[in-house]
Amino acid sequence: MKAQFIRDTQVAASMMHPLRLSILEHLKEPNSAAGLARILEMPRQQLNYHLRELEKNELIELVEERKKGNCTERVMRASAKSYLVVLNTAQADPEEVQDKYSSSYLVSAASKLIQEVAELQTGAHKAKKKLATFTLQTEVRFADPEKLNAFTEELSRTIMKLAAKYHTDDDPHARPYQFHLFSHPTLKKQQHEKRSSN
């Protein structure tokens, strides 16, 4: 899996240990406890404890077991190339829910989207199936606020027409899909570079 969503606070707390973050980084490629202990220059017994905790929380997975004399060597790897912690902390003010121009509502809706996709992705990964999603991003420059407002109104009408055209209530096997549309001003390059350097 390229990216894994962490939705459980205990799992998030477990992986935030500096040593465990280092272990996850080194286990992007499969390795044994012995090999990892040499790289990290630490006792096997101490390392094994952290490996067990990471495996218990499904942050690393078993690749293979190798027989070495009377012992069995377990080769592990990180369960994903990267991890994204997604906690259910963003809640919209009920009074703002109806305000489609509220940035607080946007953040709350985006947070809910991430949580739902995280749950779907976890289920698809366990079932060894591909999750069908669609993403489209673009940038539009508007001469003035009136043009922006006209664009959003026309876009809203177009989406409503498409939804009415393709939506079906008759087929019991039809699968519902969520479509979200978000928009925000583009972050200025200087601001982005300043945030990245902090």
Q: Are residues 100 and 180 in the same domain?
A: yes
Task: Give the per-residue pLDDT at 40.
Answer: 94
Any domain includes 198: no
pLDDT recorded at residue 191:
54
- Comparing 12-16, 90-94, 174-178, which segment has the lowest mean pLDDT? 90-94
CB neighbours of residue 42 within 10 Å: 15
At 8 the pLDDT is 82
Adjacency order of strands within the sheet including 31-32: 31-32, 71-78, 60-68
Based on the structure, what is the number of domains in the chain? Answer: 2
Question: Helix (H) and strand (E) counts for the chain?
Answer: 7, 5
Q: What percent of the chain has pLDDT over 90?
A: 53
Select from 29, 51, 83 the last residue of a domain: 83
Could you list the residue range(s) of the whole structural domain that residue 25 is in? 3-83
Residue 74, Cα to own-chain centre: how many angstroms?
28
Alpha-carbon gap, residue 11 to 74, rounded angstroms:
22
Tokens 């202990």 sit on residue: 37
pLDDT confidence tier of residue 10, bands split at 50, 70 and 90? confident
- Averaged pLDDT, 81-99: 68
Mean pLDDT of the residues in the chain: 86
Are 67 and 98 in a shared domain?
Answer: no
Cα 165 from chain centroid (whole Å): 32
**Residue 116 domain-assigned?**
yes
What secondary structure letter does DSSP report for 154?
H
